[in-house]
Structure 1
Amino acid sequence: MMSEFKFKKFTINQDNCAMKIGTDGILLGSWTRLDHHPFSILDIGAGTGVLSLMMAQRSQAGMIDAIEIDDNAYEQCVDNFEQAPWSDRLFCYHASLLEFADEIEDTYDLIICNPPFYSEDYKSDNKQRDLARFQDAMPFEHLVACVSKLLSEKGVFSVIIPFKEEAGFVDLALKHKLFQNRTLHVKGNTNSDIKRSLMEFSFTKKPLVTETLIIETSRHRYTQEYINLTNDFYLNM
């Protein structure tokens, strides 16, 4: 696994992060809607800081905050922010989501999150990776409750989760008056099952727009739709 990941306009160091750059994060950072011109953005569970950096590249947001609980990931995120062309707009807090939500009185026009997924009982021998990866480090209930507190009245919440968790997540969001506005179902190839759900929520009820994205036609042969979506970031697309 390479310790440095080069994008078109910034570079991510990830040698001290348990969770490396992956397709999920790139998809979410590329798909998230910015046409409401957010001034303030929050990246929950920032890891390397890749989502914050993608938002900085794509938007004119004046304040992009990130929160990261893991010591090593936090330090790496701060370093990646300092090296970025948009360092003056980026700040990372070393805190848990619950701590942050309790202390911060500001609200955000966009909240973006690529949360830990795995709710299975399996644990590995790498505690740092487990913390980054497993849902019990940031239960969906905590995530949705904190988002509903931190999101501005006309703000947008953008998240990626396993498809099998979608219905339960939508129900949780509704309990906090967050409505599902857009959904992108992601399939690895034409014949595979839906693997991921990218979802956008807001406090405004709108007709739900649902689309499907297929990543590859065959191994390492990407669909034009995937290339078009991620083209601003990947060097070799």
Structure 2
Amino acid sequence: MSKEYFQFKQFKVFHDKCAMKVGTDGVLLGTLTETQNSKQILDIGTGTGLIALILAQRTDAQIDAVEIDNEAANQSGFNFSISPWSKRLSSFHSSIFDFKNDKKYDLIVSNPPYFINSLKSEGKKKEIARHVDDEFFLNLCKKIEEFLADNGTCWIILPVIEMEHFTKEALKMGLNHIKSIEIHSFDHSPVKRIIRSFSREKDIEPEAYKFIIYDSPGKHSSQYKNIAKDFLSIF
């Protein structure tokens, strides 16, 4: 992999100006999110723009991507401009809390910061990208509820403890957990991440699935190959 960019089958992602580089979490959220009937999509904290680009390949939707860091917002905008879907992708340099838009989105996705009240990492850019305070998830849920269409869904990826925190705050906003995908590095390893979807639909028994990334060190599982084969050049 180049230090400056990551080459996918149909697009290229430069990430040298972004604190958070192209990684597995973005590939998983972009490919596992359900996109049926999505015409307007919002990506909160887009970073490199990876998730938005995957969703652009998978759908015909118009996609707005919001990023608080100026250099990351510029880089995601550049990545969008050199993609086959440049006319459907828009990058906005803004905090989601300052973002102004009259649209309602059928689908909202986010790979949000998740280190709550932990020691701050070195470097201001990585601090913004990774660390949040106690009220961040509640305020994020408020903005998701504001921008989400009546029948829309929201898909989030977080570590286990942080996802439980987020889920409690989402419920306060009338956003109900409807599906979980538990991500494991290996079959018998602990849950590494959870991808969870939310909607305003009530009285739903949440569904849960197990997703394995590797069969053994260096050998991707059939699950991972199946979702990534249209995107990653290694398959």
Range class of TM-score, shorter chain: over 0.9
1:131 is displaced (CA, Å) by 0.8
Report the aligned-residue RMSD.
Answer: 1.5
Question: TM-score by structure 1 length?
Answer: 0.94
**Preserved contact between residue 115 and residue 135 of structure 1 (Cα < 8 Å):** no
Structure 1: distance between partners of 2:229 and 2:30: 12
**Preserved contact between residue 56 and residue 85 of structure 2 (Cα < 8 Å):** yes
Structure 2: distance between partners of 1:225 and 1:167: 25
- 1:76-127 per-position Cα deviation (integer Å, ceiling 9, x unaligned): 0111011010000011111111111xx3222111000010121252222211
Aligned partner of residue 99 in structure 1, secondary structure: coil
Match of 1:210 among 208, 218, 225: 208
- 1:180-234 per-position Cα deviation (integer Å, ceiling 9, x unaligned): 1110001111231111110011111222110011111211111111111222211
> Which segments of 5 or more consecutive residues in structure 1 lack a partner in the other structure?
none
Match of 2:14 in 1: 13
Q: 1:232 to 1:126 in 2, by over 3 A?
A: same
Alignment map for 1:1-237 (pairs within 5 Å):
2-35=3-36, 37-61=37-61, 63-100=62-99, 103-136=100-133, 139-205=136-202, 206-237=204-235
**Preserved contact between residue 153 and residue 197 of structure 2 (Cα < 8 Å):** yes
Structure 1: distance between partners of 2:33 and 2:72: 23
**Preserved contact between residue 116 and residue 138 of structure 1 (Cα < 8 Å):** no
Structure 2: distance between partners of 1:164 and 1:231: 30
- 1:18-39 per-position Cα deviation (integer Å, ceiling 9, x unaligned): 100111110000000012x111
Aligned partner of residue 76 in structure 2, secondary structure: helix
Structure 1: distance between partners of 2:78 and 2:45: 16
Structure 2: distance between partners of 1:6 and 1:138: 37
Q: Residue type matched to 1:168 in 2?
A: H
Q: Residue type matched to 2:224 in 1?
A: Y
- 1:42-75 per-position Cα deviation (integer Å, ceiling 9, x unaligned): 00001011111111100011x2101111011011
Q: Residue type matched to 1:57 in 2?
A: Q
Identify the range of structure 1 (220-229 vs 117-126) with the bigger mean alpha-carbon deviation: 117-126
Aligned residue-pair number: 233
Runs of 4+ in structure 1 deviating by more than 3 angstroms, as ranges, are: none
Identify the range of structure 1 (4-13 vs 226-235) with the bigger mean alpha-carbon deviation: 226-235
Q: 1:17 to 1:138 in 2, by over 3 A?
A: farther
Structure 1: distance between partners of 2:224 and 2:119: 32
Structure 2: distance between partners of 1:168 and 1:117: 10
Structure 1: distance between partners of 2:216 and 2:42: 36
1:138 is displaced (CA, Å) by 8.5
Structure 1: distance between partners of 2:138 and 2:107: 19
Question: TM-score by structure 2 length?
Answer: 0.95
Structure 2: distance between partners of 1:133 and 1:168: 16
Structure 1: distance between partners of 2:78 and 2:50: 12
What's the % identity of the aligned pairs? 37
**Preserved contact between residue 17 and residue 73 of structure 1 (Cα < 8 Å):** yes
**Preserved contact between residue 159 and residue 200 of structure 1 (Cα < 8 Å):** yes
